[in-house]
Structure formats: C-alpha cells, structure tokens
Structure 1
C-alpha cells in the first residue's frame, strides 16, 4: 500500500473517531454543562427580581453557588470537563464538518471555530475556579468595562466598540428569531421524541432562545451607548444587563420573565444533550 493510500486511510479513521461515540459523549457533556450554567443564572436572576440580589446573576455567580453546595468541588470539575467536551466537539466540526447537509460549509466551520474559542475560554475559567487559582473569569460586568475601556483607547476605538455592540445586537436578534422559527428542530432527532416531548422541547426552545436573544441584544445596546458617550462604565456584563430590566417601566416583572426564559434555555440545553444530532 502506497503512502497516499495510508494517509487517506488514516484520515478516514481519524474522521470516524471524531464522529464516533467519544465526540458524541463530549457534545452531550458540553450541552449538559451549558444547561447547568444557564439554569443557575436564570434562578439567580429570579431571586434578584423578587428582591434578593446578593448573588451575581452570571457565570461567576453560578460557580460560587455550586461551590457552596455539598460536593461542590466535584461538581465544578465535572462542569469544567463538560465544557472542555463542548470545545472539543466544536473543534471537530471545524476540522471534519458538522451534522446536516450544510455541516461542511465554510459558514458552519467558521461559526464552529468561534464557538470553540468561546467555550475553550469558559472551560478554562471554570477549571481555574475549581482549582482555586482563579475566580471563574471574574465578574462579567468588570470584564465588560475593562475591555471596553481598553478598546476605546485604541485609534478609532469608538467605532470599534460601536461596531462590536452592533454585532452583538444583530447576534441577539438572530438568536431570538431562530428560536421563534424553531430552527433548532433540524438539529434534533425528532423521530425519537413523543408528541408531548416535542411540545415541551418547543416551549423551552422558543421561550429560552427568545430570552437569550433579548439579553444579547440588550448587552449590545449598552456597548453601543458606551461607544457613543465614550463612557466605558456604560458597558454591562450579564449581571448588570439583567438587573437593568428591573429598572424599566415594566419593573421587576420584565426581569422575572427574562430570568424564567434563561431557566427554560437551561432545560432546553438538557434536551439538546439528549436528542441533538452530532
């Protein structure tokens, strides 16, 4: 057998492994870990809506909440490892393509690359927190202000921050619209689900995705405002963005609705872990 044939066969074996049970397990673990984080963030935001705002409603707050539970350290390590699985799954989509007819398109691979980078950072911050050498990446609000301040100091910094904020707004609208249109269904093994389960998944997928989109869009709007006013403090992370909903004319009721939506998205992530095509 010549060298080219050996290389081709080797690539086939690697691709088969990438699409096999190991990658499927990594995807399931990652989606479940994402679900835990969103579920806890939503519950913390609900506490804020009902007058108990002592804990941050972001990833940092979720990690601290877990750390105070029995076997919290074990749960944190499991969460971090699950997020590593998410990053590896997305990396496999970059290299070998994802599920579906358009899984190998350049657009899908680029999206997978961005998700891989994001979840790599999140996994690192969670593992650093579990190891006691970090703080879960720190407060999202502080990070947002620091990054915005540094960006505004660059040449054309206002335009950079404004464009970034506009991009986040577009992403939020895209996330919400896809959820309302139930685009997630093409990624699910619907044939394995009962009609009742499909309805429940639609409730969590539509409600959760819409709430997630609203949060993204609001965070983007604050970034645009920070750029226009040249005020880094106007940029907000997840916690401050959620708290801002309570300051609207609708009051804490709007925050409660968005928080409930994030809880739904956490539950939807668990459903994706069970029925997602990989």
Structure 2
C-alpha cells in the first residue's frame, strides 16, 4: 500500500472509530434517561462495551481506530493538509486539531489499558486525576487557572455550533446533493449538540473553579448528569443523546465522503 493510500485508510478509519464511540455514548445516554446508573461518557461506555459479547474485539477495533484518528489529527495540525494557513485563525484551528489528536490518543491508551489489565486499572487513573486536581487547586488563586482551562472546551463548543449552523463542513465533503440532502441536516444537529455539551463542560469547570473544590474535572458524564437533573431532565437527556447519535452519523459520513487532502509536503503520490 502506498503512503497515499495508507493516509486515506488512516483518516477514514479514524472518523469511523469516532462514529462508533459516539454511537455507543449516545445509546447509553438514551438508556440513562430511564436508568441513571448507565454510563454517559467515553471511559465508562468503553468499560460497558468490554462486558458485551465480542466486547474485547470491539474495543480493540475502537483502539485501532482512535489511534488512527489521533495520528490523522496530528497530521492535520502539523502538516496543514486542510490548508488552514498560518494566520491567527488558522493557527487556532490547527492547535485545536492537535489537542483533539492528543485527547483521542489518550483515550485510545485508556482503552488499551482496559484490554491489557482489566477495568480495575482505570479506577487508579481516576484517583490520580483527582489527586492531581486537588494539588492544583491547593495553589493560591488556582481557580483563575481553572477559568483559563474552561475557555478551551468553551471555544471548542462555540466552534462546533458555528460549524453546524453555517454547515461549513460541506466544503470538506465529496458527495453529490442526493447524499448531502440527508447528511447535511443530521450533521448540523450532531455538531450543535456536541458543541452544547462542550459549552456545558466549560460552565461546570468554571463553577468548580469558583467553588474552589478539589473534584474530578467535569466531562461529558457530568454534563449529561446536570441536564438529567433539570426539570424534565429525562426528556432533555433524550434530546441530547439523539444529538450525540447524530454526531456519530456525521463521523460515519466523514469516513465515507470526507475530502482527504493528500497534498503533504515531501510525500510522493499525493
């Protein structure tokens, strides 16, 4: 397989893995609308998946896909294959892509740890995270640092909502209008829903900072739990879960029809 073809497989496999992961999260979030003990985040969803028939095989596929996606994100950021440029806006987008690559890489290694060592090892990492945050919040004025960290998911969330509202993702698709007629509305809903979750995570982080509490940093589970605790929260959670499933459809659509720009400097066959 040529380097050109390898990068295409890397990118498309990564988008598909992200689709699988968000499909799992969305399904469990739907179930959690009636049973609050159901998982609502990527870590717990992977643990629950591991207990299903063929669970180890499925998690293994997710690990491979997430590693591929992380590699593709790093390539997008460092080689600028989507031509975002080197101006301020372009550098911000590329920094976000790099951060996404690191996050997906970390999630892949978490899932790999589940496969190699069992679920018990994941509890230790959670305790280490809590200890790390407790140490961080013991510093004077460290809540200001938490506010700054909260700007990251807030910015990602706003970017997702804008991307979904304007349907700017279309320029990266190679599909005719017959396909986009179905892909477009589902993708817009999915991007806006994921953006809303990121903004809620940012708000929860800011609240943690102002309260000066040594707790685990809030993530998707805490965001969905907060929605579930609102009046008619079960209905809100169902709507958000359907939005996350829509985002998984968007990821699968990228796996099939996204334009994979191979104009990478120094690579033959692009």
For the superposition of Structure 1 and Structure 2, which TM-score range results when normalised by the shorter chain? 0.7 to 0.9
Match of 1:253 in 2: 235
1:1-278 matches, cutoff 5 A = 17=3, 20-49=4-33, 51-99=34-82, 101-102=83-84, 106-133=91-118, 137-138=122-123, 146=131, 148-189=133-174, 192-195=175-178, 197-233=179-215, 235-278=217-260
Structure (1 or 2) with the larger CA radius of gyration: 1
What is the CA distance between 1:41 and its match in structure 2? Answer: 0.6
Cα gap change, 1:36 to 1:64, in 2 (>3 Å): same
Kept in 1, the 8 Å contact 2:18–2:248? The answer is yes
1:188, CA displacement in angstroms?
A: 1.0
Q: How many residues align?
A: 256
Q: What RMSD, in angstroms, separates the aligned Cα atoms of the two structures?
A: 2.5
Mapped partners of 1:144, 1:176: distance in 2: 29
8 Å contact from structure 1 (residues 145, 236) kept in 2: no
- Say if 2:67 and 2:108, in contact at 8 Å, map to a contact too: yes
Unaligned runs of 5+ in 2: 261-270
| More relative contact order, 1 or 2 (CA 8 Å, 6+ apart) | 2
Pair 1:86–1:24, CA change in 2 (3 A): same
| Cα distance change on mapping 1:135 and 1:170 into 2, 3 Å | farther
